[in-house]
Amino acid sequence: MKLISWNVNGLRACVKNDALGWITQEKPDFLALQEIKVSEDKIPSEIYNLGFENLDVNSGEKAGYSGVASLHNLKCATFKNLFFQENEGRVLQHDFNEISLFNIYFPNGQKDENRLNFKMEFYDKFLIYLDKLKKQGRKIIICGDVNTAHREIDLKNPKSNSDRSGFLPIERAWIDKLLSHGFVDTFRAINGDKIAYSWWSYRFNARAKNAGWRIDYFFISEDLRENLTNAFILDDIKGSDHCPVGIEINL
């Protein structure tokens, strides 16, 4: 199976800019979109012509803000907000067979201390929930915009960003903790210390200079490691300040 995740930073803008053509070429079995910024009743009609059988949406209550959508061909049960009650439309959980597959738009902590605390609470409750699922025998796949670069090789300028949310020690330590709880960063598992980014600021011509951050991930539980065959970043895809990331895995 090919699974791809992409923070589109506005689904209607992507459609308007004709930025979805690559999807029919890549033919993913599962496509996770974050920051769609649109309610379910206003999803552009073009989305229904991409060749997927199912569309699941969790929209934020605030218009033009947040939201996630999953397009897929799975026979699954889909859930929202099972571990963290919020109205920002950040989580879709898809359960099929013994797998729990998450499409998540993790909070950004840059605005102020309250938002950073919100982000860390979200992180912590999610990990508690993951541990619970693992004890139940679930195998887990997590994809989405995690809004944190894990290691210094995951952003262009680590020293100048060391005091900025997205690369704070407490945020990076949570990813350490996630891995210590039996999860695998798929891109690193396949590509080692390869330098690649998934987000670039719209300012300072950052994308042309490749001054980016790797903040979009696929994590899998350790019991799926042998099933993983590929992990990639499609950094040539435009249409957002993020680019798609993906994996190929035998399920």
DSSP structure string for 53-71: SEEEEE--SSTTS--EEEE
Separation between Cα atoms, residue 231 and residue 220, nearest integer Å: 11
CA atoms within 13 A on the CB side of 103: 33
Confirm whether residue 35 is marked as ligand binding. Answer: yes
Confirm whether residue 150 is marked as ligand binding. Answer: no
Which sequence positions are flagged as catalytic?
A: 105, 145, 242
Confirm whether residue 242 is marked as ligand binding. Answer: yes
User: At which residue do the structure tokens 């693992």 appear?
Assistant: 134
Confirm whether residue 145 is marked as ligand binding. Answer: yes
Burial 28-63 (b: 16+ CB within 10 A, else e): bbbbbbbbbbbeeeebbeebeeeebeebbbbbbeee
Give the residue numbers of the binding site for Mg(2+). Answer: 7, 35, 145, 147, 241-242
Give the residue numbers of the binding site. Answer: 7, 35, 145, 147, 241-242
